[in-house]
Structure 1
Amino acid sequence: MSPGHAPSRDGATNPQPIDFGEFVRRRGGRGALVVQPRMGFSDPARMRAGLLATRAAHATTVGTITLDSYTRVGELRAAGRALAEGVPLNGYPIVNHPPEVTRTLLDGVRDDDFPIQVRHGSAVPAHIFASLVALRLNATEGGPVSYCLPYGRTPLAESVGNWRRGTELFVTLREQGVEPHLETFGGCMMGQLCPPSQLVAISALEALFFHQHGVRSLSVSYAQQTSFDQDVEAVLALRRLCAELLPTPNWHVVVYAYMGMYPVTGMGAYRLLERAAELAVMTGAERLIVKTEAEARRIPTIAENVAALEWAGAVRSDVRLAAGIDSETYAEAAALVHAVLNLDADVGRALLAAFRHGILDVPYCLHPDNMGRTRSYLDTDGWLRWAATGSMPLPGAPGRRRPRVLTSAGLLNDLSFVRRSYDGVPAAPTKASA
Structure 2
Amino acid sequence: MFNNLSEKLDKALHTLKGHGKITEVNVAETLKEVRRALLDADVNFKIAKEFTKTVQKKALGQDVLTTLNPGQLMVKLVKDELTELMGGDTVGINLGGSPTVILMSGLQGSGKTTFSGKLANYLKTKKSKQVLLVGCDVYRPAAINQLRVVGEQIGVEVYAEEGNQNPVEISQNAIKHAKANGKNVVIIDTAGRLAVDEEMMTEISNIHKAVSPQETLFVVDSMTGQDAVNTAKAFNDVLNFDGVVLTKLDGDTRGGAALSIKSVVDKPIKFIGTGEKMDAIDVFHPSRMADRILGMGDVVSLVERAQEQYDEEEARKLQKKIAKNQFGFDDFLSQIQQIKKMGSMKDLVGMIPGAGKALKDVDIDDDAFKGIEAIIHSMTPDERSTPTIINASRKKRIAKGSGTSVQEVNQLMKQFDQMSKMMKMMQGGGGRKMMQMMKGMR
The TM-score bracket by the shorter chain reads 0.3 to 0.5
- More helix per residue: 2
TM-score by length of 2: 0.32
TM-score by length of 1: 0.32
